Amino acid sequence: MCSTPEPAQKLEESTPTLPPAPTKIYPATEEAAALLMMAQTTSYVPKKDQMPSFSLGLTDSSQEEVSTQEGASTQEAERAKSPEATNLLEQLDNLVQKIARNSAKEESKSPQIQREIGGESSGRFETPAGINENTDDMKQKCYIWGTRVKTYANGTTNEYENMCTLMAQDKYILTKIHIALLQAATFIEAEIVSAMCLILNQTNDKRFQEQVYCLPPDIVNMTVSKHPKGEFISPKTNKEFRVEDYSSFIPFIDAKKLTSHPYIFVPVCYADHWWLWVIDTRKWRYHILDPLHKKAPSEERKQLNKFTGYVISRMRAYVGGEPLKKGEKEKEIKASYVKISGQKSTYDCAIYVMKWLELIEPENIKKGKYERDNWKQDEVDHYRVE
């Protein structure tokens, strides 16, 4: 989906089906996966100080402040001498082992029942002492835990529970419902694509530090929804597009990279379909990579594409860069469609766009084509786990 989800009327608890993976999968209960994730990402921390987690800037959503180096050192010292830390790890170890044994007993009693996630049974789980490795097995267990929405006895769910906070130019929060829609055969939420852009932009890689800037799609998508036919005067607000009207999303724009990088990648979503703008700011060339279409599917889409180019140009000018075109020509920006292998399903468009953000080499777009081998469907499905 492309918009923020409305509160659901009712949700039933269900365990998502794991996409096919090229590696062996060891089944585990969701509770065990949750405990493993807890043990991987946290240990006992005194309440007076808090610590960030994840190397790319992802922090536990309950953490509202980032500790200083001095505070972190204090925490390390207190944890080292704190009996709570040792007790917590021992309790987690014992509980995980107990769950594993119970699970093995249940399977031996009922061999005819097949778990949804498949694979061979595991005699035991890795204990907290050795779970810092980011293995495929761990990713899959965390995927099961993260994509499951629970319904409690009182009828409430945990779909709007904060899962993590991405520290970019500002805090970008992902909730349970965003992660849950990473399940196989579902549409990806716009917030996931935005988070992907923010993560890639922080990657310590020459591609993203010097060449490619991924513009988070929030402002573009919200604007397109208010100008559904590419009208420059919105029929919903009777106003022209102004970047200032989206003040809550402006902090997520990296002004330096948007104005200096030679290539700008912009994911766009309209009517539940994603495509990717690729802009060459040196040669002033504009391309569209669409997982489903090799050309604009309608005259309305052509007009919408012109309007999208105008929005991107205005955003670049707003942060101090040169617009894509000047004057009235800014409203006549035309992007050519690139012939490229695309999706095989009706719901994987966002997966292709996110993968293209990582892989597409703009200089290899030649004569309206981009030569590459298409992914197999199991590879596309497994990308949701990654």
The torsion defined by the Cα of 129, 132, 138 and 139, in degrees rounded to 10, comes to 160
Say what the pLDDT of residue 46 is: 41
What count of Cα atoms within 13 Å lies in the side-chain half-sphere of residue 235?
7
Say what the pLDDT of residue 98 is: 60
Residue in the block written with tokens 């991107």: 312
CA distance 384 to 386: 6
Say what the pLDDT of residue 94 is: 60
Look at residues 267, 294, 270 and name the one whose alpha carbon lies nearest to residue 278.
Answer: 267
Say what the pLDDT of residue 340 is: 93
Domain boundaries of the chain, sorted by first residue: 30-165, 189-383
CA distances from 267 to 204, 264, 290, 299, 323 (A): 21, 10, 10, 20, 19
CA distance 198 to 155: 35
Inter-residue contact 116 to 30 (CB < 8 Å): no
As assigned by CATH, the class of the 189-383 domain is alpha beta
| Strand arrangement of the beta sheet that strand 58-59 belongs to | 58-59, 162-167, 171-175
Inter-residue contact 243 to 314 (CB < 8 Å): yes
Work out the angle at residue 184's Cα, subtended by the Cα atoms of residues 162 and 355, and round it to the nearest 5 degrees.
85
Tell me the two tokens of residue 154: 């009182």
Look at residues 185, 159, 186 and name the one whose alpha carbon lies nearest to residue 174.
Answer: 159
Q: pLDDT tens digits for the chain (386 residues)?
A: 565 444 444 444 444 454 544 444 444 455 555 555 554 444 444 444 343 333 334 444 344 344 444 444 444 444 444 555 555 555 555 655 665 566 555 545 444 333 333 333 333 334 344 445 556 665 555 555 556 667 777 877 766 677 677 777 677 777 766 566 666 667 788 888 999 999 999 999 999 999 999 999 999 999 999 999 999 999 988 999 999 999 999 999 999 999 999 999 999 999 999 999 999 999 999 999 999 999 999 999 999 999 999 999 999 999 999 999 999 999 999 999 999 988 888 889 999 999 999 999 999 998 888 987 787 777 776 666 55
- Greatest C-alpha distance within the chain: 74
SS3 41: helix
Say what the pLDDT of residue 323 is: 97
Residue in the block written with tokens 């084509």: 369
Tell me the two tokens of residue 369: 């084509």
Give residue 49's region: left, alpha or beta (phi > 0; psi -120 to 50).
beta
Say what the pLDDT of residue 42 is: 46
